[in-house]
Amino acid sequence: MARTHLKRPASANSTTKATNGSLPDVPRIVEEVIDSVRREGDAAVQRYSEQFDKWSPSSFKLSKEDIDQVMARVPEQVINDIKTVQSNVRKFAEAQLNSIKEFEIEMAPGVFLGQKNNPIDSVGAYIPGGRYPLLASAHMTILTAKVAGVRNVVACTPPAAGEIPLATVAAMHLAGADEIFILGGIQAIAAMAIGTETVPKVDFIAGPGNAFVAEAKRQLFGQIGIDLFAGPTEVLIVADETADPYMIATDLLSQAEHGPDTPAVLICTSAEVAKSAIKYCDDQLTTLKTAAVASVSWRDYGEVILADTIDEAYQIADEFASEHVQILTANPREALTKMQHYGALFLGPMTCVSFGDKCIGTNHVLPTKHAARYTGGLWVGKFLRTVTYQEVKSAQASGELGQLSNMDSKAPADNARKDLRPIKRFVTTHTPEGTTTFSNVLSEDAPFQTLPDNVDFALCYATNQFPVNLNNEADINTYRHYTENLPGITLPTGTVLRVVDIPPGAISPMHRTISLDYGVVLEGEIDLILDSGEKRVMRRGDISVQRGTNHAWKNRSEESWARMLYVLQPATSLRVAGHELHDNSMHTIPGYEEEEAVAKN
């Protein structure tokens, strides 16, 4: 299938890119503010609010009287419009809630298993300000949380030019916010995540924001839950020969005006329509009030691709996995079956993306930067914790389950007893007076778990940022989160310390992770096997350095267990022989029979 670019993004040579070197160091600034709020509480919040927003009231929290005064100043028509939109959002969120079922089943006589959906206790909602305050974020975050059953919603929004943003506060109040703070930026996110003298600590934070807000959520993730790692808004339009090129141009620019780094993409099967859309974009930018922003975005991130067929257009669109995908074709509903990766679909010429942003009822907090390949947007389920329970009422069943749980491991050498001693892990910290001590927050026993293939592994430590933040035990809190929410083999922004106990004779699948991994044999002897067929024997104390290669491990002993220690670090994308490599898993190992590998696992 052929694809032709009629317009490529100019970001490689753009003003935006060229000036990025002079932009502030966002991660460093965010870390500094978070650490200050952690140490100083409200004093730091007050200082940074004055510095960033020129806003330092005696109290950031609005009292009931303050809110009543705001409501009295908002025009009646605005109030009615807010209520209409919130009715739409509530109705859709309630339908989502009704689609999530609790259940209980009797797995065996006298053995009951069930699932419940418990709402998060306390949620922080961030309602952004900025160039064009989007008060609809109040509906999307606060109201959706309330429909889910969240008991306490703490809502923050920045001041608008030194004033309380009246319509935004009205929307927050009508959505059901329990506490409202006129507080923005990093300091708002940090205050809600950590808790101060006046801002209550929450369990989860939802809502969009600028790069500083997004980075604050990233750094605090693990101490609190978050909705998404959101980036600049995105729009992608799939069109055919039936589409109106003027409408295409209008819809592309209506999103491009949100910021100078907004991707606006057209994938079209008609060269005539695509070329006309480009011309209309150029024409509209000569009169558009927001052209100063939209023109930069269209120049640097605008893209027009010509596809041979509509199926190819859908395939290309799936590769982008964009936030907003608008379908302007003769049969727009076919996208529901032909596309998989998007934040939200907008079907047909009468369904404008702005409807979803502001009023139609679906949630506008959506995944960006290809995240739609693995997650959806904010919805009522984000505010629920799906938990399970079990109850055994039969003495016979209880006895049978007890026998089953105490059975010897069916390792490759059947009935082989694990001959490795338990591992101790010692974590140091500081007392409030500054002396060193051993942490009592984490157990000194390594937290081993048994995998389905009878391999035992322990996640001994994990971090989620470089450099690691050791202040106020932030790294310990991050690790504790991962013990309850196990990460993948690697973490994209941090390190993993893992110990793996390998049963006698066991062979792992051939696999690759795009990471830099240090491996040390602690006990036993291990074969390190590469996909070329090469092999090295590793004995106790020997070290491997895995650099994104395809490999497998084999315990050389048929009688004794082996133990490996791994330190895994993320790596940039890896290209070999002109091809980008990816994580993968294979079933066969050179030099070993497939049946042997299966049997050993």
DSSP 109-141: TTEEEEEEEEEPSEEEEE---SSS--THHHIII
Please, where are the H alpha helices in 450-528? 474-484
- How far is residue 452 CA from its own chain's centroid? 27
Nearest by Cα to 384 from 172, 194, 101: 101
3-state secondary structure of 332: helix
Nearest by Cα to 328 from 252, 379, 402, 228: 252
Catalytic residue of the set 31, 215, 234, 323? 323
Tell the residue number behind the tokens 């330190």, with chain if given. 567
User: 87-92: long-range contacts (C-beta < 8 A, 24 or more apart)?
Assistant: 88/359, 88/360, 88/361, 89/139, 89/140, 89/143, 89/144, 89/361, 89/363, 90/143, 90/147, 91/361, 92/361, 92/362, 92/363
Burial, 443: exposed, middle or buried (Cβ in 10 Å; 0-12, 13-18, 19+)?
exposed
DSSP 18-38: HTGGGS--HHHHHHHHHHHHH
Helix 211-220 / helix 26-40 crossing angle, nearest 10 deg: 60
Q: Which run of H or E residues covers position 319?
A: helix 310-320
Catalytic residue of the set 324, 364, 473, 551? 324
* Residue 582 a catalytic site member: no
Q: Give the CA dihedral 517, 219, 321, 85, nearest 10 degrees.
A: 160
* Residue 324 a catalytic site member: yes
Phi and psi at residue 337, in whole multiples of 5°?
Answer: -105, -20
How far CA 531 is from CA of 331, 527, 528, 589, in Å, comes to: 47, 13, 10, 7
Nearest by Cα to 222 from 483, 447, 32, 41: 483
DSSP 181-250: EE--HHHHHHHHHH--SSSPP-SEEE----HHHHHHHHHHBTTBEES----S--EEEEE-TTS-HHHHHH
DSSP letter for 150, please.
-
Question: In one letter, which amino acid is 334?
Answer: E
Residues annotated as catalytic are 323-324
